[in-house]
Structure 1
Amino acid sequence: MKRQVLLAGVAAMMLTACNHQPETALTLSGLDPVKFQTTVNDAQTQLYTLKNKAGMEVCITNFGGRIVSIMVPDKNGTMQDVVLGFDSIADYINIPSDFGASIGRYANRINQGKIVLDGDTIQLPKNNFGHCLHGGPKGWQYQVYNANPIDNTTLELTRISPDGDENFPGNLTAKVLFKLTEDNAIDIKYSATTDKKTIINMTNHSYFNLSGNPAQAATDHILYVNADNYTPVDNTFMTTGEIVPVKDTPMDFTTPKAVGQDITKYDFAQLKNGNGYDHNWVLNTKGDLSVVAARLTSPVSGITLEVYTDEPGIQVYTGNFLDGTVTGKKGIVYNQRASVCLETQHYPDSPNKPEWPSVVLEPGETYNSECIFKFSVEQ
C-alpha cells in the first residue's frame, strides 16, 4: 500500500489489522502489533490476527506473507504457540530467514539457477550452493504483499511481481488466501496468473515445534509421511533426477517414527548430503485433498498437525541449519533441529526435469495450489 493513502484509511487498516482491537493490545501469542508497523519499499507492513470460535489464533504479517504465530490448545487445554518466528518486523527484516513465509516465485532449488523456456536460457540468481533457492536472495519472503483482511478468519495477500523480478519472466499476479476454519485448520490457497510464459511453485515455510517450547529440539516429534518414494539429493542439496523407494532406508516414514530416530545415521549418504532430513517426498496422495499427506505429533503436548495438499510433493526439513545464533520470539534461542518444516510443493528443479510434473504457467492459465494445516490433540 502506498504512503499516499489517506490518514483515515491508514487508521482503519490498523484497526482491521488488529481485529478491531486497540492497536496497543497484545495478541494471544503475546505479539505487539505496533512492532509490525513500518514501511518497506514504500509499502506498509502490519500484523493481522485471525481467530475462530474455538479460540485458535493465527497471526500473519504481510512482510513476506509470513505466519508469525499459531496458538492451539494442547492435551491439557493450554494454548501453545507452535511455530518459530520473531516478535518484531525489524528482526524479520534484519535477520535473513524463511520463518513462516509465503515462498515465491519458485519454492526450493533450481539447478545452477538456470531454466530454459521456448529455447531461451534464463539465468536466475544463485544464492545457495550455486543454485537458486526460494526465488533468489530477493524472493517474496522479503517483499511486502498487499493485504486484504476479509473477515475475522480470512486474509487475502496479493503480490504483483514484475517481469524480470529476480530475472523470472512475466508480469505475475499471485494471491495467498489464508482461511482459519472452525475445526482448527489453516486452509492456504495459492493462485497466480502471468502475461508471459514463466514458472511458479509456491509454498508456506512454517517451522513447527508442536511442543510449544522451541528451546527443545523437535526430534522427539512423531512423523508420518504418506510417500513410498523420495527424490535423492547430491552434496549441494540438488535433486539428482532419481525417484527411489523409501523402503528399508531411514527415509521411510510410512510407519510413524520419531524424527530423530535415524536422523544422524550419516553412513546413509542421503542423510549426510542433507545434513539430516532436507528432502522432497513423492506423495502417494495423487492430489487428493481428502487424504493426509503428512502427520506430525508432539508426545509432550499431544498436539498433532495433519497436512493435506493437492501438490505432488512435500519437503521435510528438520531445521538442520539452525545453530543457536538466532533468537526468536520471547527471547528463545533456536538451536539445531528446533523445528520441522512441511513444505507442500512441486519437486525441486522441476523446470530442468521434464519427466516430472510441470511448473510452467502460460498466459491465460491460472496456477492453483492448496495446503491445509489441520491441528488436533492426541490424549
Structure 2
Amino acid sequence: MKYLKNLLLGAGLVVTALMVSCTTGSKTQLTESGLNPTAFDTTINNKPVKLYTLKNANGMEVCITNFGGRVVSLCVPDKNGKPTDVVLGYDNIKQYADSVNSPSDYGSSVGRYANRINKGNLTVNGKNYQLPQNNFGHCLHGGPSGWMYQVYDAKQPNDSTLILTIVSPDGDNNFPGKVTATTTYTVLSNNTLDITFDATTDKETVVNMTNHSYFNLNGDPSKEGTNMVLYVNADNFTPADNTYMTTGEIKSVEGTPMDFRKAHAISETINDTTYDQIKNATGYDHNWCLNTYKDGKGDDTKVCASLYSPITGILLEMYTNEPGVQVYTGNFQGTGIACKHGIKYPKHVSVCLESQKYPDSPNKKDWPSPYLKPGEKYHSHVAYKFSIK
C-alpha cells in the first residue's frame, strides 16, 4: 500500500484505492503496482480480455493484458526495497482499446512487422504488396490494426508464465500468408522478464516481432527520464531521414551522439540538435547494429544494452538474439493524456529498447533477412534483467 500511496494523485483517489484494497470478501484486490484487474475485464472482437499477473518470490510482479499482449505494469524493488513500477501504460482496458483518443503501443507484443517498412512497399517471392501507410507515409508496426490492437488467446500454466497466441490471416493488413504466432512471457527467479516470440506461416511472408515497453526506472514518470544512464553494445547504427525511415546506410557511432559504448546519461547528448539524427527525431528513435550479433547469429547470453536510474538504483540489462535494438526516448510523449494513476507523461519520460530486425529490412537486401517460409520457424528472444547497482 505504501507504493500505491506514493503513486496515486489526490487524496480522493488514495482513499478510494485504500477502500478497495482493504476490503475483504468478494472485492478485488489491487496488484502490487496499484492496478484493479476488473478494469481490464471485457470482450473485444468477441474474445475475452483480462489482466494476468505473473510473480516470483523476489519481489517482481508483471501484469499483462492479452489485448495486444501488453505489459501493463512491471514492479521490481528499488535500492531501498520499495516496489517500483518501471513501465508506462494505462490502468484500464478502455484507454488501451481507444486508438483514436489514447493511441499507444505501450508494452505491446508488436507484429506482424515491428518498426517501419518504406512507403508500405513489400515484395515477397517476386510479388509486390502495398501495405498500409500509417506513419509518415510508411507502414509502422504492422499497420493501423496490427497485433497490438488484436486479442491474443491466453493460457497461464503457472504463476510465472503466460502464453499468448494469435492467428493472423492471409491478407491481414495486406501481408501475405496465414501466420500463427506465440508470445511467451516468463518471470524468472533472478528478476528477469524473459520473452520469446515464435511463428510459422503457410505462405512466404515477413515476420519481425518485438516488445514495446516504455521504461522509466526513476519511480516517478511525471518527470522526464533523461537522467537515466544508457549503454548500447554497438559500433554502428542505421541512420534515418526526417520521416524516420532508414536510408540504407550503416554508420559508425564513433565521434557522434549515437555512441553509447561507454554508458552515460541520456541528457548529455539528447539535446545536441547540431547533429541531424538528433534534430530529425527530436531525440533518439534509431536502430543500433548490435555487436552481440555476428555471422547471422545473436548471442543472447551477453548484455546488448542497459539502462540505469541513479535515483532508484535500478539497473535493467537487456539480452537478445536479434541483430538490432531500436532505442526510442519517448519523443512523442507530452500529449497531455492522463495515463496510469492519472499521470500525464512528459516528453522524454522513458526509453524503449526494442529487439528487432533492422527497420525496412525487406527492402535492404544486404541486411539480416526477415523472411519466413512454410516449414521454417521464426524464433526471437529478448530478456530484461533487473537488479540493484
Q: Which runs of 5+ in 1 are unaligned?
A: 1-20
Does residue 52 of the first structure (1) align with residue 59 of the second (2)? no
Secondary structure at the aligned position of 2:217 is classed as coil
Using the alignment, how far apart are the partners of 2:262 and 2:230 within structure 1? 8
Using the alignment, how far apart are the partners of 1:324 and 1:23 within structure 2? 34
Does residue 38 of the first structure (1) align with residue 38 of the second (2)? no
Choose the corresponding residue for 1:298, options 301, 309, 314. Answer: 309
Using the alignment, how far apart are the partners of 1:121 and 1:169 within structure 2? 10
Partner residue, 2:105:
98
Partner residue, 1:107:
114
Using the alignment, how far apart are the partners of 1:337 and 1:88 within structure 2? 23
State the identity %: 58
Does residue 66 of the first structure (1) align with residue 70 of the second (2)? yes
Using the alignment, how far apart are the partners of 1:200 and 1:259 within structure 2? 31
Choose the corresponding residue for 1:369, options 380, 383, 386. Answer: 380
Does residue 89 of the first structure (1) align with residue 93 of the second (2)? yes
Using the alignment, how far apart are the partners of 1:24 and 1:75 within structure 2? 30
Secondary structure at the aligned position of 2:268 is classed as coil
Report the alpha carbon displacement of residue 23 of structure 1 after superposing the two structures with TM.
Answer: 6.9
What one-letter code is carried by the residue in structure 2 that aligns with 1:349?
A: D
Partner residue, 2:16:
none
Does residue 323 of the first structure (1) align with residue 328 of the second (2)? no
What one-letter code is carried by the residue in structure 2 that aligns with 1:69?
A: S
Choose the corresponding residue for 1:129, options 129, 136, 139. Answer: 136
Write out per-residue CA displacement over residues 192-215 of structure 1, whole angstroms, 9 at most, x where no aligned residue.
000000000000000000011101
Report the alpha carbon displacement of residue 324 of structure 1 after superposing the two structures with TM.
Answer: 3.5
What TM-score results when the alignment is normalised by the length of structure 1? 0.93
Does residue 274 of the first structure (1) align with residue 270 of the second (2)? no
Does residue 341 of the first structure (1) align with residue 348 of the second (2)? no
Using the alignment, how far apart are the partners of 1:144 and 1:350 within structure 2? 27
Report the alpha carbon displacement of residue 170 of structure 1 after superposing the two structures with TM.
Answer: 0.6
Alignment length (residue pairs): 358
Does residue 147 of the first structure (1) align with residue 177 of the second (2)? no
Report the alpha carbon displacement of residue 273 of structure 1 after superposing the two structures with TM.
Answer: 1.6
Secondary structure at the aligned position of 2:94 is classed as helix
Question: CA 1:22/1:69 → structure 2, altered by over 3 Å: closer, same or farther?
Answer: farther
Write out per-residue CA displacement over residues 211-231 of structure 1, whole angstroms, 9 at most, x where no aligned residue.
111011110000000000000
Structure 1 consecutive aligned stretches of length 4 or more whose deviation exceeds 3 Å: none
Structure 2 counterparts to residues 280-291 of structure 1, below 5 A: 280-286=287-293, 287-291=298-302
What one-letter code is carried by the residue in structure 2 that aligns with 1:256?
A: A
Secondary structure at the aligned position of 1:343 is classed as strand
1:23–1:34 CA contact under 8 A, matched in 2: no
Report the alpha carbon displacement of residue 298 of structure 1 after superposing the two structures with TM.
Answer: 0.5
Using the alignment, how far apart are the partners of 1:326 and 1:369 within structure 2? 33
Q: Which runs of 5+ in 2 are unaligned?
A: 1-24
Report the alpha carbon displacement of residue 22 of structure 1 after superposing the two structures with TM.
Answer: 6.4
Does residue 240 of the first structure (1) align with residue 247 of the second (2)? yes
What one-letter code is carried by the residue in structure 2 that aligns with 1:319?
A: G
The CA RMSD over aligned residues, in Å, is 1.0
Using the alignment, how far apart are the partners of 1:304 and 1:91 within structure 2? 30
What one-letter code is carried by the residue in structure 2 that aligns with 1:329?
A: K
Using the alignment, how far apart are the partners of 1:347 and 1:322 within structure 2? 24
What one-letter code is carried by the residue in structure 1 that aligns with 2:202?
A: D
Using the alignment, how far apart are the partners of 2:69 and 2:47 within structure 1? 13
Shifted more, 209-218 versus 59-68: the winner is 209-218
Using the alignment, how far apart are the partners of 2:238 and 2:340 within structure 1? 34
What one-letter code is carried by the residue in structure 1 that aligns with 2:113?
A: Y
Does residue 165 of the first structure (1) align with residue 146 of the second (2)? no
Question: CA 1:157/1:254 → structure 2, altered by over 3 Å: closer, same or farther?
Answer: same
Choose the corresponding residue for 2:368, options 347, 350, 357. Answer: 357
What TM-score results when the alignment is normalised by the length of structure 2? 0.91
Question: CA 1:279/1:333 → structure 2, altered by over 3 Å: closer, same or farther?
Answer: same
Report the alpha carbon displacement of residue 177 of structure 1 after superposing the two structures with TM.
Answer: 0.4
